[in-house]
Structure 1
Amino acid sequence: MASCVANELLHKIKQLSILLPINVCLRRRCSTSSKQRDSQRHLTTKSSSEKLVGVVGLEIHAQISSNSKLFSGSPVCFSAPPNSQVSFFDASLPGTLPVLNRRCVEAAVMTGLALNCTINKKSLFDRKHYFYADLPAGYQITQQRRPVAVDGVLTYSFLGGKKRSQVVRKHVQIKQIQLEQDSGKSLHDDVHSQTLIDLNRAGVGLMELVMEPDMSCGEEAAAAVRELQLILQALGTCQGNMSEGQLRVDANVSVHRPGEPLGVRTEVKNINSIRYLARAIDYEIQRQIGVMQRGGTVHNETRAYDSKSGETIPMRDKEGLQDYRFMPEPNLPPLIVFEDNATLPPGVDSSQVVVVQKIKEGLPELPSVKREHLVQAYGILPEHSFTLVNEEGLMEYFEEVMKATRKEPRKVIGWVMNELLGQLKQQDMSVSQR
């Protein structure tokens, strides 16, 4: 009896020893699979919740400071009566031909040099076809194939940090600078249900600057535009008055997760101040993030910024690619500029052509150099030099006070920053209006 029980017990132990490795293996496999599922779940959650970030590129149209238009001798005057500054060519009368304004070419080359661009010694003009009432020819003369300047970089700064006292420096790539005509103005009369056309602006010379999508928020874009505005004003190539349309900015905005392809972009137009530019971009970034978080789709469209509501509103859908039917401009030869006098053909007068080296030698002091000069000459903080240069007329006023009083720079800068700017802000005035 005891022997039978012992044999049965031994048999069960053998069965257990056979089954045990299988059970352990199964248990380990289950455990490993569970860990893998947890890891995959963690990765999925991390991927889905990874923060969406904004991507911003800019297209800027800068009206060239010139007494006459790009291809005609008509004067440029912002406040002139409607249709009083229009030549036959501006009105696109048959038989009229374009004559290139050398001053506009020099302005584009100077701007390109200041932005560290490569100047194309040979550039081409093209026709860009579209039909608006304020474009009488039915096409715009521009530089789509080979612009006057390419591959530049703009270094800009803004005050960051918790107390906004730290100078943050960043760079944005300049894809190209091209010369082109401006269009006229369409004036909509809702009372009489009609649209009036003013061709005074038609044919005014523009520089279109295309900035790569190297910015991530409205603050960066606003700082880049402000730095560009200061550079253009220092060069004298554009007055940069946004309220008069001398500097017009279109923002291309999209969102994506870092490491993933860029998202569908929208173009925001009708931005007439740097402050509104920052607000419009930040709003559009948050709008697109909200759309994607709700499972929606961001559409490729053009939107306008409403400064009253602080929102962007849809203007037109851009899903269908517009065909501008670019073609070479048959009435203009290639634009040739020369590196220096040594490269001029025999018998060519240097005063009648554009010489890059001559323009480079005449470049004025740029804002970044002015800031360095203030820090080194007066020993002030970089953030103070930033404010002095960015506020129109403030640097000149500071140096006038320094010469007149001969006080310690830190005391003068303290008075300027705290007392002067505080009083001007209360009275809604600027230093240039003093």
Structure 2
Amino acid sequence: MLRLCTSRTLALTSSPAVSEHRLVARAAWPALRRTASTDGLARVPLRKQLKDEAKSLKTQNRHRRGSEKSANSDAWELTVGIEIHAQLNTAAKLFSRAPTSVAAEPNSNVALFDLAFPGSQPEFQPPTIIPALRAAIALNCEIQGVSRFDRKHYFYQDQPAGYQITQYYEPFARHGFIDLYDYDGIAPEDGKKVRIDLKQVQLEQDTAKSQEYPPSAQLLDFNRVSHPLIEIITMPLIHSPATAAACVRKVQAILQATSAVTTGMELGGLRADVNISVRRRDAAPGDGEYNGMRGLGQRTEIKNLSSFKAVEDAIIAERNRQIAVLESGGVVMGETRGWAIGSTETRRLRAKEGEVDYRYMPDPDLGPLRIDSELLRELENTLPTLPDGLLDLLTGPVYGLSIDDAKPLIELDGGERLEYYQEVVDFLEDRKPFFQPDHRKDETIPNNDLSRTAANWVLHELGGLLAKADVAWDDELVPARTLAELINQSVHKKITGPVAKQVLAMVFEGDKRPIQQLLEEEGLFLRPLSRDEYLALAQPLIAANPQMVAQIREKNQLGKLGWFVGQMMRSGEKGRVEAQRAEEILRELILG
């Protein structure tokens, strides 16, 4: 059990009752165009116009950034260190008995200590360390048997006590690392793999949430005060904006895999500060110092970046600003800067505070935090599979997926999409067949083919419906067994591909009939056409389009066969024309 020991020392021990306090992680962590002619000119709908303009601007920005890099950056080395703040998945606050709350009414879950009420004292809540430990273990850290809390002094309206409780000097975890691979999106110049060392992972309390109402009003919600955070501090070893964004993305994936956090960047549960410096590549080794490392330029810090794109864009902008300042003979000042989404420049907020400014001191109201080795072993033994392990599993012989399909399955919806996919595959492989294939299709379908087909349906077909409807993931919209039955009908050629997509949309929109019943009642089962019926569809099309036929025969433009297939499916009886069979007939007639 977790217990509070005497002498103001906090101890964590493990016993058969530890599961009462342990937050168990899951075993598997686990997608109107129209133009009209007016006076000979095409009238483009506003929606398409705006979309094209946004695409053009994005392309221009990409080219601009590339030219800036080639023009200015070759003589300069960029160095980035990252501080990631993540809200822990806990029911209790770190130093008060008030519950954590993301969606509660403002200022409804607040204890006296959260408001710095005179005489109130922090009361450490032992269960809050469990998700923090899972995160630190997954980040390959050395867990410290004894750690301590410190006060970081500063005045701001979101911190009424005038200080924040953190672990600056003796954090609970040190010396971890993160391995980033090319498939994580690191910069090409970093090769296939780069290791980012972590200085430490520390516990600390969150601040109040502030909402500005210009010109002068600001509202404060103290529900967030003392929500448990971990701060993950990397060493300044990153030299590319893309690799920095990949690092934050990988950390979020690891934290979500271990159920250490409830939300990611998209919902405000994770924020990143980036420390940026540049120096000439030919500078003397002793020039400059950054975070205790010699030979680096003067750093600036950009606070509270809330998306992966913001991390990358802000670093690019600040790198270019610093290079411009230095090349014009100026001096980069140590300061804290801000970044607004959609901006092209960082902005100065204030002078950069240092260790002296914060007046760090041990917190006199909190004793040491002791972590029992038995508890640590149990957490290590029950740690779920991490993203790299899941990727190996999905791209290995069991599932046989490509990297492009495996990564979104792992990253989407906090692992729920992956669990759903695995359930669909289980139905297809372990409990197949739902329906015996007919005499024409009595072959065995390889498991990897089923796995890849299931991934396509989960990611693209079902994902497309979710995106079009603009709804959040919900595995009850199309139950896993229902999707598996639909896929089974399709792969055994009981229905055509277009019919399968039509039925999926019907189920997604609320049709609760079992797949077999739905297909029977709607008359959607495939009734194969005879060869003569295919010829009757294909021959008139070929006769009516001699120019396209010539391009296929003489210029080998085989892609145009798809147009003929589409026309045959439109003109034939709905649900009866098989695309593969139609193409076979077309090849026979056109190519001989």
Smaller-chain TM-score bracket:
0.7 to 0.9
Q: Given that residues 242 and 273 in structure 1 are in contact (C-alpha distance below 8 angstroms), is that contact kept between their aligned partners in structure 2?
A: yes
Q: Given that residues 394 and 401 in structure 2 are in contact (C-alpha distance below 8 angstroms), is that contact kept between their aligned partners in structure 1?
A: yes
Residue of structure 2 aligned with 1:388, choices 409, 418, 431: 409
Letter in 1 for 2:407: F
Whichever of the two has the greater Rg, that structure is 1
Distance 1:245 1:318 in 2: 24
Residue of structure 2 aligned with 1:64, choices 63, 88, 93: 88
Structure 2 residue 412 is matched with structure 1 residue 412: no
| Other structure's SS at 1:196 match | strand
Residue of structure 1 aligned with 2:321, choices 277, 281, 287: 287
Match of 1:310 in 2: 344
Letter in 2 for 1:94: P
Match of 2:150 in 1: 126
Unaligned 5+ segments in structure 2 are 1-71, 284-294, 430-444, 478-592
Distance 1:115 1:134 in 2: 30
| Other structure's SS at 2:243 match | helix
Note closer, same or farther for the CA distance 1:167–1:97 as it changes in structure 2 (3 Å cut). same
Give per-residue Cα distances to partners, 1:235-293, cap 9 Å, x unaligned.
11112332443101001111123464211111112311112211111222222223333
Distance 2:158 2:271 in 1: 17
1:429 CA drift (Å): 5.2
Residue of structure 2 aligned with 1:236, choices 242, 256, 259: 259
Match of 1:24 in 2: none
Match of 1:200 in 2: 223
Question: Bigger CA drift: 61-70 or 93-102?
Answer: 93-102
Q: Given that residues 185 and 243 in structure 2 are in contact (C-alpha distance below 8 angstroms), is that contact kept between their aligned partners in structure 1?
A: no
Note closer, same or farther for the CA distance 1:214–1:373 as it changes in structure 2 (3 Å cut). same
Letter in 2 for 1:155: D
Q: Given that residues 398 and 416 in structure 1 are in contact (C-alpha distance below 8 angstroms), is that contact kept between their aligned partners in structure 2?
A: no
Larger relative helix fraction: 2
Note closer, same or farther for the CA distance 1:155–1:75 as it changes in structure 2 (3 Å cut). same
Give per-residue Cα distances to partners, 1:365-407, cap 9 Å, x unaligned.
1111101111221233445433432333443344344345555
Question: Bigger CA drift: 105-114 or 407-416?
Answer: 407-416
**Superposition pairs for residues 181-196 of structure 1, below 5 Å?**
181-191=205-215, 193-196=216-219
Distance 1:121 1:102 in 2: 15
Question: Bigger CA drift: 130-139 or 396-405?
Answer: 396-405
Distance 1:364 1:86 in 2: 33
Residue of structure 2 aligned with 1:379, choices 383, 386, 400: 400
Match of 2:177 in 1: 153
Note closer, same or farther for the CA distance 1:175–1:332 as it changes in structure 2 (3 Å cut). same
Give per-residue Cα distances to partners, 1:149-171, cap 9 Å, x unaligned.
0000012234489999x994322
Distance 2:200 2:327 in 1: 35
Note closer, same or farther for the CA distance 1:273–1:106 as it changes in structure 2 (3 Å cut). same
Q: Given that residues 421 and 458 in structure 2 are in contact (C-alpha distance below 8 angstroms), is that contact kept between their aligned partners in structure 1?
A: no
Note closer, same or farther for the CA distance 1:294–1:417 as it changes in structure 2 (3 Å cut). farther
Match of 1:272 in 2: 306
Note closer, same or farther for the CA distance 1:218–1:102 as it changes in structure 2 (3 Å cut). same
Distance 2:384 2:186 in 1: 35
Structure 2 residue 114 is matched with structure 1 residue 94: no
Residue of structure 2 aligned with 1:82, choices 90, 106, 110: 106
Structure 2 residue 271 is matched with structure 1 residue 248: yes
Note closer, same or farther for the CA distance 1:94–1:287 as it changes in structure 2 (3 Å cut). same
Q: Given that residues 336 and 350 in structure 2 are in contact (C-alpha distance below 8 angstroms), is that contact kept between their aligned partners in structure 1?
A: yes
Structure 2 residue 473 is matched with structure 1 residue 432: yes
Give per-residue Cα distances to partners, 1:321-344, cap 9 Å, x unaligned.
75111111111111111212xxxx
Match of 1:296 in 2: 330
Distance 1:418 1:72 in 2: 42
Moved over 4 A (4+): 160-164, 319-322, 404-408, 416-419, 428-431
Note closer, same or farther for the CA distance 1:267–1:378 as it changes in structure 2 (3 Å cut). same
Q: Given that residues 147 and 170 in structure 2 are in contact (C-alpha distance below 8 angstroms), is that contact kept between their aligned partners in structure 1?
A: yes
Letter in 2 for 1:232: L
Give per-residue Cα distances to partners, 1:166-191, cap 9 Å, x unaligned.
99432211110111111112333324
Structure 2 residue 138 is matched with structure 1 residue 114: yes
Match of 1:143 in 2: 167
| Other structure's SS at 1:213 match | coil
1:120 CA drift (Å): 0.6
Structure 2 residue 386 is matched with structure 1 residue 366: yes
Distance 2:133 2:186 in 1: 40
Q: Given that residues 243 and 272 in structure 1 are in contact (C-alpha distance below 8 angstroms), is that contact kept between their aligned partners in structure 2?
A: yes
Distance 2:202 2:339 in 1: 26
- % of aligned pairs identical? 37
TM-score (norm. length: structure 2): 0.57
Distance 1:420 1:234 in 2: 25
Larger relative strand fraction: 1
Letter in 2 for 1:130: Y
Note closer, same or farther for the CA distance 1:141–1:244 as it changes in structure 2 (3 Å cut). same
Q: Given that residues 160 and 167 in structure 1 are in contact (C-alpha distance below 8 angstroms), is that contact kept between their aligned partners in structure 2?
A: no
Distance 2:453 2:412 in 1: 16
Match of 2:204 in 1: 180
Distance 2:352 2:185 in 1: 38
- How many corresponding residue pairs? 371
Question: Bigger CA drift: 89-98 or 52-61?
Answer: 89-98
Match of 2:193 in 1: 169
Distance 2:363 2:356 in 1: 20
Q: Given that residues 128 and 139 in structure 1 are in contact (C-alpha distance below 8 angstroms), is that contact kept between their aligned partners in structure 2?
A: yes
| Other structure's SS at 2:349 match | strand
1:211 CA drift (Å): 0.9
Letter in 1 for 2:180: Y
Q: Given that residues 76 and 204 in structure 1 are in contact (C-alpha distance below 8 angstroms), is that contact kept between their aligned partners in structure 2?
A: yes
Give per-residue Cα distances to partners, 1:104-150, cap 9 Å, x unaligned.
21222221111111111011111111111221211111111100000
Distance 1:300 1:326 in 2: 20
TM-score (norm. length: structure 1): 0.77
Question: Bigger CA drift: 204-213 or 305-314?
Answer: 305-314
Note closer, same or farther for the CA distance 1:186–1:389 as it changes in structure 2 (3 Å cut). closer
| Other structure's SS at 2:357 match | coil
Residue of structure 1 aligned with 2:234, choices 206, 211, 216: 211
